[in-house]
Structure 1
Amino acid sequence: MGESRRRLNVLGVRRPWFNMHSAKLKRRSRFSLARRYTSPSSHGKTEDASISVLSTKSLSGRDDSASKKALEEVFPTFVENKPNHDTYKKKRLKAFRNPTNKKGREYVQQLNAGKNHMKSDHFSLDERQKSERIDQNTDYSGTKTGANPSLHPLRRKRVDHWTLVYFETIHSLLGAETKMEDDERMALIEKALEETHGKECELACDKSCSRVLELLISLSGPEQIASFLHRLSPSFYVVSTDPAGSHVAEAVLKCAALILQGHASDGVCKTLEQAFIIVCQVVGDNIVEAMTNSYGSHVLRSLLCVLSSFPLELTQKRSRGGGLSSRVSLSQETAKRVKQDDVIFPHLLQLLIGRILDSVKMIGPELCMDAFAGPVLQITLRVLAEDISRITMACCVLLGCKNKAGGEGDTLLDKSNLENIQKLTLNDFGSHLVEVMLEVAPDDIYQIMLKQAFMPHLLEYALHPYANFVVQALIGSIRKQDQVVLLLSNLKPSFWKLMEQKRSGILLSLLKACKQYQCSEQEVCSSLAKALNSDGLKSPLLILRLLFLESYMASGGSKEWRPNLNGQKMSVLGCAMLQLIFSFPMECSQLYWLSLLNIKPEEILATVKDLGGCHVIESFLSSKVPLKHKNLLIGKLKGHFVELANSTSSSFTLERCFSIGSVDLKEAIVSELVSIQVDLAKCKHGPHLAKSFDIAGYSKDPDHWRKRIIRKEGALKAFADVFDLTSPKGKKRVAGSEL
C-alpha cells in the first residue's frame, strides 16, 4: 500500500481527499491536504511549521479546532470554501468507487496522464543539434517542463489569496476609467512585473491573473517583455498548454515579434534570443504533446511565425476574402511566403521544424490527421515554402516517401505513399494539410501528386465531402496550361453529377483556372451549358438555371421548373460562375449573355435586387458585349430606378447603368430620381448618387444638364478612339508614330 502511494506522489498526481484503498479514512484527508502544498525543493518537507503541526495533530485525532485555525492562517481562501469533511468524504468515496461516474473517470484519466508523462522522451536533441545552441554550457532539458519539477501541470501551485487581490487591484488601476500619468503608469507596470519573479507560471495559469498579465505585457516596454519571456521560458510548455496560460504565451510572443521587427537594442535582442533557445528546447522536448494540445497548438503556431517572420494574423482567423471571393477574384495573387533572408532565428527555426518532422516520421499519418497537430504542420509548410530543398524534404516526410538520390526529380510514390495521401485526402483534418501542400509544393512534387495520386481517383475525390476541397485546391494550384486541359478533360463529362451532388465549387475553380491561363474557355463554357440542358441558343432557361442553381438541382432537372422570384435567394456559386463567364471573350460567353437578354423584365429586376445577382449584372455591363445589348438590358429596368436607388447593394448597379447607358437612359434614370431627391439625402449612399448623377442640376435646368452630358460623352468617345489601339483612329495613330 505504501509503495502505491509513493508511486502516485512521484507521478505528480494530486492526491484525493482520502485514500480509497485504505480502511482508515477518518484523518487521512487533512494529511493529504497538507502534502499537496509541500515545496518541491524540500522533498516532502512542509513549507511552514504550522502545516507540520497540523498533520501531526490531525493524525493523532486531537485538537481539531487548532488544526482548522492553523489551516485558516496558511490557506484562508481554501478553507473558507471547504465543505464539511464527513459529508464531503462520503460523496467522494461514492464517486471514486464508481468507475462509470464522471469524477471516477476524471481520476483514472488523471492517473493515466501522470503515467504517460513519465515515459521516456523519444525526441531529445542529438549531440549535433546541441552543439548548435548559442549557450552550450546551459541545458534546460533536465525535466520535460523545465528546471523546476513543481511546474508539472498536475501539481502546479495555486496563487494565494493576497496575490490575487494584488493583481486585481493592478487591473483596476490600469483600467481605461482610471486617469494616471504616464510615468506613474510605467512605474506601476514595472513594479507589477517585478512581483511576478519566481511565480510566472502560477500567475500565467491562473484564470484571473492571466488577464492582468496580458494587459501588463501589452503595456510594457521591450526590456520588460524580454526579461519576462526569459523568466517564463523554462516553464513555457506548461504555460502554453494551459487554458489561461496559453493566452499569456501568445501575448508575449506577439509583443516579442513586434520588438524583433522594429529597432530593438542589442541587449534586448540577445535576451530574446536566449529566451527563445530555452523555449525551443523545452517545447521541442514535448513537441507531440504541444502539437496535439488544443491550447499548445495555437502557441506553437505563433512561435513558428515569430521565428520565421511569418505574419501572426494568418494563424488566427482567415480574412473575410479568403473563401469564395478569393476564388472569384480575377487578380492573380500568390500565396504569402517567407523569404529566407527575413528569418530572425534560422537555427532555432530549423531545430523546431526538425523536431516536428521527426515526430511525423515516428507517429505517421495519424499525427497529420489530428485536429490540432494539422494546423501546426500547415504553418510549417508555409514557413518553408520559399526554400525549395527544405519544402521538398518536408513534403516527402509528410507523404511518407523517400527521395532516392536526394534530387528534386527523383521522388517516387509507392503503394504505401499513395495510401497515406488517400487517407489524408479523405479525412476531415488531413484534407486541409493536403490543400496547403498542393499550394506550396514545388512544381515537380505537384506534378507527381497530380498524376500518381489524384488522377486515378479524381471523380471519387471530387464527389467526397472533404476531398472535393482538395480537388479545388489542386485546380487552384495549377502550374501549366496542359494541367488545365488534363483536369478539364477528365471532369467535363461529370459536370451535371458535380452540380447535382452540390460540388459546384469545382466548376468554379475550373473556370478560374481557364481564365488565369487563357485556355479552354470556349470548351468549359459549352460543357457547362450542355450540362444544364439548355433548350436553345436564345433560351432564357440557361441563365435562370445558373442563377437559381440549388433550386433547379433540387427539382432533379425538371423541364417544368421555373424560378420563384418572391423571396428566393439566388445561388452564390451560380452567380460567381456567371461573373467569371462574362469576363471571358465575347464569343465564349455568347450563350449566356444572349440568354440574359431574353429573360423577362421582372426577372432582370429580381436579379439586380439580389445580393449575388447584382454582381452578375455589373459583370455583364463591364464585359466586351456590344453597347447596344447593354442598353437593351438597362431599358428593361425603366420604372424601377427609384426602387434600385433606395437599396444599398442595387445602388452600385444603378451607378454602373448610368455610366454605361446612353444619354436617353441617363436622363430616364435622373428624371425618376428627382422625385426622391430629399429622401436620397438622408440615406448613406444617397449623397454620392445625387452628386454623380447631378440630380440638382437636372431639376433646375434639364436642357442644360442634357447638353453637358452630351459634351462629356463626346469627349470620352474621342479620348477612347485615340488611345484604343483596336479602333481605326488608334491604329492610324500608331502607324503615324512608327513613321
Structure 2
Amino acid sequence: MPREKQKRGRRAEQKAQKEDSKREYDDTIEAPSAKRMKPSNDADETIEPAFTEGADYIPFDDDQGEHQEAFENGDEGNGDTPFYGLLDSDEAEYFSRANEMLEANQFHDAEERNIFIESVYQEANGKELKIACSQGCSRLMEKLISMSDARQIRRIFGKFLGHFLHLVQHRFASHCCETLFIHAAPAVMQKTSKSRAKKSEDGEEGEESDLSLADMFLRVIEELKENWGYLLTERFASHTIRVLLLVLAGEPVDVTSKDSVVASRKKERLGLPAAGAQEDKDQAPTQKRGVPESFESALKKMMSEMVAGVDDTYLRALATQPIGNPVLQVLLFLELSHFGKSSAKDPKSILRRLVPDESFEEGTDSATFIRGLLYDPVGSRLVEIMVRYMPGKVFKNLYKNNIRDRIGSLSRNSTAGYVVLRTLERLGKDDLQNAMELIIPEVPGLIERSRLIVPKVLIERCLIRNVDTTPFAKALQNAYDADPTVRLRQMLRLDSASDAGTRSFEDEEMHDADGDSYKQRQNQQSGPGSSVSAAEKLHGSLLTQVMLTAPGPLSDLVYSSLLAQSPETIIQLAKEATSSRVLQQALTLPTSTLQFRRQFIPRFQGHLAELAQDNSGSHVVDALWPASKDVYFVKERLAQELAEHEMTLRDSFLGRAVWRNWSMDLYKRRRGEWKARAKGIEQDPATTGGSGERPKSKLELARERFAAKQAAAAADVAPAES
C-alpha cells in the first residue's frame, strides 16, 4: 500500500496552520451575523442589545431604513442629529458658481453686488439648512452672511432658529453659525421694522422678521441651555460658544488674529468686505460694542449654568483639555474684565474655584495647580489670562510665591516664557528691576536658543518704567561676539546655525530642564549647512529694533555694529525683509545722532536705483529722505543719483513710489522749492496749521531779536532825555 505524501519540516507545518486559520476565517464571514432583538411591547420588559466587547464595528439592524427615513424627515425624537437633505446636482452647480462669483467680488458697484446677493437668497429660500450642512456650499453661506445687511442676516437667523443645537455641532454648519453671530452683533441694537414684516410675501418669513436680533440671540441661549456641559468640550460647538459669549458681552470678536482665542490657527479666513463696511468705518473691530440690557443678565445666567453642574475637579481638568481650555479662558476673561475684578471674591466664581487659596503659599492646592500649568502647552494659556486680569492683591501673592524666585528658569522654557511676558507687563519699577537681575544670568542661554521674546519685552518694560538698562546691555554684549561685524549678523540671525525649527516641543521642554544636554545635542546637530528659520530672523530683527529705541549702551551696541559693516553688507541687509526694518529704524529714530547718519548715509550712494526697485530696499530709500534733513549736501547727492536713473525708476512700480516720495519732479523743474522742502523750510499747510507760511530761519530770528533789543534800548533812552 503506497504511503501518504507528506511534507517534512517547520515550513510545512506553518503553511498547514495558515490554511486552517484562513479556512476558519472564511467560515466566520459566511456565517450569518447575530441581529439585535427588537424591544418587547411590554413596558415592564426591556431587552438591552448585546454587543461584542472590543468589536471593530456594530452592524446595522433591519431598522436602518426606518432610521434613515426619520433623519430625512427631520425627526428628532430619537436624539440623533437630523438629516436636512442633500442638494441636487443643478442646485449644487448653481451655488458653486455663486460662490466663485462672490469670492472674485468683481462687481461694478455695491448696488450690483447687493442685487446678486438678493437673487442668491431667493434661490436658497427653503434650502438654508441644506446649504449650511453641505461640504461644498457651506462656504457660500459664510460669504453670504458676511456680505449681507441687517435685514438679510435677520432672515437667515430666523431660518436657523430651532436648529442651533444640531447646527453648532455640525462640522460645516458650525462655521456658518459662528459667522452669523459675528456679523449679527453690530446690529443687535437696531429695532425691527414692522413695515417690512407686513410687506413680506411669505407669511413664515414675515413672522420671523418680527423678532429683533437681540431676541433671536436670547432664543439661541434657550435652545442650548440644557446642553452647556456637553458643548463645552464638543469639537465644533466650542468655537461657536466662545463667539456667543463674546457677542453677549459686547467684546470685539476678531477671528483674523493669530492670538485670538475664538478660532484656531487653521481657521479659514474669508476676508470679504461686509455689506455695511462703509457705515462702520468709525467702529474698529477691536472696540467694544453696545449691547441690550437683557444681554447682561443672560450672559451672567449662561456663565453660571455652564459651571454650575461641573465639580471643581472637572473644572480644573478643563484647564489642560485642548477643546475646553479656550472656552474656560473666555469665561475667566469675562468674569474678571466684564463683571469687574470684585467678582473674583465670590466663592462660586471661576477664579476661586480654580485657585481657592489666594495666598499661593507653598504646599497649597492653588500653588500646586499653578505650577502644574506653567509648563503645560495648553494650561499655560489659562495662567496668562489669570496673570493679566486677576486683582492686584491676588497677582502679588501669585508672583511672590510662585514666579519671582523662578522667573529666570521660567524664561528659559518655551512654554512658561509666555507667562513671564504677561508677568513683566504688570510689574512695578522695583519688582521689574529685581526681575531683570534674575534674568540677566540666563541671557547667554536665551540668545543661544533664539528665545529672544523675553529680552525684547523686558527692554520695552524697562523703558516704560524708567529702569536703567545698562546691566542688561552688558549682558547682551557678553552674549554676542566681540567683533561688531560678526555681532550684527548674530543679532539678525543671518548666518548662525540653529536646529530649533526641527526640534519637537517635547524635546525643548526636556532640554530646558537640563541645559548641558541641550548644548551637547545642539553642537552635534548644528553644522555649516543648517539654516535659520524665518521666525528666528523675525525675532532677531524685533529685538534689534527695540534695542535701537533705548538711549544709551543698548542702542550704541547696534549703531557701532552698523558702522562696522561694509557697503556691500549694508546693501544686502537693505534687501532682506527683516533686516531692512532695522536700517529704517536706525535712520529715523530719535536715538540716531547726526554723527552716525553723516557716516552711515553715504554708504548707500551708487546703489539707490537698485534699492528703489527692490521690495524691501525701496522702504530704506524712503527713510533716507527724513534721515538726511540736517545733512543737505548728502541729500542733494542722493537726489542727483535718482535723477540720473529717471527712466529706470519710472518703469518700475516701486521706483515710481520712491520718485514721488523724494519729490523728484519738483527737483527737476523748480529746484529752489525742492531745496526749501529738503531743508525743512517749506512745509505742507496741514503741518503748519493751514497758514501755508514757512518757518523763519535762524538768521531771521536773530535779526528780530537784535531789532527788539535796539527798540528796547531806544525806549529807555527817550525817558532819560526828557
* Superposition TM-score tier, normalisation by shorter sequence: 0.5 to 0.7
The CA distance in 1 between the partners of 2:351 and 2:560, in whole Å, is: 50
Please, which runs of 5 or more residues in structure 1 have no aligned partner?
A: 22-27, 41-45, 48-145, 323-333
The CA distance in 2 between the partners of 1:542 and 1:606, in whole Å, is: 16
Q: Which residue of 2 aligns with 1:619?
A: 585
For residues 116-515 of structure 1, the aligned pairs below 5 Å read 148-150=76-78, 152-153=80-81, 156-157=82-83, 159=85, 176=101, 189=121, 193=125, 195=126, 204-207=132-135, 210=138, 222=150, 225-226=153-154, 229=157, 232-265=160-193, 271-314=212-255, 317-318=258-259, 345-358=295-308, 359=310, 361-384=312-335, 385-386=337-338, 387-390=340-343, 397-398=350-351, 400-401=353-354, 415-475=364-424, 477-515=425-463
SS of structure 1 residue aligned to 2:376? coil
SS of structure 2 residue aligned to 1:520? coil
Residue identity opposite 2:632 in structure 1: V
For residues 61-72 of structure 1, the aligned pairs below 5 Å read none
SS of structure 2 residue aligned to 1:423? helix
Q: Which residue of 2 aligns with 1:685?
A: 654
Residue identity opposite 2:640 in structure 1: S
Residue identity opposite 2:490 in structure 1: R
SS of structure 1 residue aligned to 2:322? coil
Is the Cα–Cα contact under 8 Å of residues 484 and 514 in structure 1 kept in the other structure?
yes
1:610 has 2:576 as partner: yes
Residue identity opposite 2:64 in structure 1: L
Is the Cα–Cα contact under 8 Å of residues 488 and 510 in structure 1 kept in the other structure?
yes
Is the Cα–Cα contact under 8 Å of residues 162 and 223 in structure 2 kept in the other structure?
yes
- Superposed displacement of residue 186, structure 1: 5.4
For residues 561-580 of structure 1, the aligned pairs below 5 Å read 571-580=537-546
1:520 has 2:468 as partner: yes
Is the Cα–Cα contact under 8 Å of residues 201 and 232 in structure 1 kept in the other structure?
yes
Q: Which has the higher helix share?
A: 1
Is the Cα–Cα contact under 8 Å of residues 292 and 372 in structure 1 kept in the other structure?
yes
1:633 has 2:600 as partner: yes
Residue identity opposite 2:83 in structure 1: K
Moved more, 705-714 or 357-366: 705-714
For residues 31-70 of structure 1, the aligned pairs below 5 Å read 31-37=62-68
For residues 640-651 of structure 1, the aligned pairs below 5 Å read 640-651=607-618
SS of structure 2 residue aligned to 1:241? coil
Residue identity opposite 1:659 in structure 2: P
SS of structure 2 residue aligned to 1:589? helix
SS of structure 2 residue aligned to 1:518? coil
Q: Which of 536, 539, 563 is matched with 1:597 structurally?
A: 563
The CA distance in 2 between the partners of 1:175 and 1:248, in whole Å, is: 18
- Superposed displacement of residue 414, structure 1: 5.6
- Superposed displacement of residue 685, structure 1: 2.7
Cα 1:441–1:264 change in 2 (3 A) is farther
Please, which runs of 5 or more residues in structure 2 have no aligned partner?
A: 1-33, 53-58, 195-207, 264-283, 500-518, 689-693, 713-722
SS of structure 1 residue aligned to 2:85? coil
Residue identity opposite 2:67 in structure 1: R
- Superposed displacement of residue 576, structure 1: 1.6
- Superposed displacement of residue 519, structure 1: 1.4
- Superposed displacement of residue 674, structure 1: 2.5
SS of structure 2 residue aligned to 1:670? helix
Moved more, 233-242 or 169-178: 169-178
Q: Which residue of 1 aligns with 2:513?
A: none
Superimposed CA distance per residue, residues 639-677 of structure 1 (whole angstroms, 9 cap, x where no aligned partner): 222322222322222222233221221122122222321
Is the Cα–Cα contact under 8 Å of residues 368 and 430 in structure 1 kept in the other structure?
yes
Superimposed CA distance per residue, residues 687-721 of structure 1 (whole angstroms, 9 cap, x where no aligned partner): 2322343445656798x688657865699997697
Cα 1:719–1:588 change in 2 (3 A) is farther
Residue identity opposite 2:250 in structure 1: S
Is the Cα–Cα contact under 8 Å of residues 203 and 210 in structure 1 kept in the other structure?
yes
Q: Which residue of 1 aligns with 2:482?
A: 534
* TM-score, normalised via structure 1 length: 0.65
The CA distance in 2 between the partners of 1:580 and 1:4, in whole Å, is: 73
- Superposed displacement of residue 448, structure 1: 2.4
- Superposed displacement of residue 260, structure 1: 0.4
Q: Which residue of 1 aligns with 2:16?
A: none
Cα 1:214–1:165 change in 2 (3 A) is farther
- Superposed displacement of residue 381, structure 1: 3.5
The CA distance in 2 between the partners of 1:714 and 1:272, in whole Å, is: 55
Cα 1:244–1:690 change in 2 (3 A) is closer
- Superposed displacement of residue 625, structure 1: 3.8
Aligned residues with identical type, % of pairs: 19
SS of structure 2 residue aligned to 1:310? coil
Is the Cα–Cα contact under 8 Å of residues 131 and 137 in structure 2 kept in the other structure?
yes
Q: Aligned residue pairs: how many?
A: 578
SS of structure 2 residue aligned to 1:685? helix
Is the Cα–Cα contact under 8 Å of residues 169 and 234 in structure 2 kept in the other structure?
yes
The CA distance in 2 between the partners of 1:700 and 1:547, in whole Å, is: 42
The CA distance in 1 between the partners of 2:562 and 2:477, in whole Å, is: 13
Q: What is the aligned-residue RMSD (CA, Å)?
A: 5.0
The CA distance in 1 between the partners of 2:301 and 2:237, in whole Å, is: 18
The CA distance in 2 between the partners of 1:185 and 1:718, in whole Å, is: 55
Cα 1:667–1:204 change in 2 (3 A) is closer
Cα 1:581–1:263 change in 2 (3 A) is farther
- Superposed displacement of residue 296, structure 1: 0.6
The CA distance in 1 between the partners of 2:214 and 2:674, in whole Å, is: 71
The CA distance in 2 between the partners of 1:689 and 1:624, in whole Å, is: 25
Cα 1:399–1:644 change in 2 (3 A) is farther
Residue identity opposite 1:640 in structure 2: H
Superimposed CA distance per residue, residues 44-64 of structure 1 (whole angstroms, 9 cap, x where no aligned partner): xx99xxxxxxxxxxxxxxxxx
Is the Cα–Cα contact under 8 Å of residues 408 and 439 in structure 2 kept in the other structure?
yes
Residue identity opposite 2:240 in structure 1: V
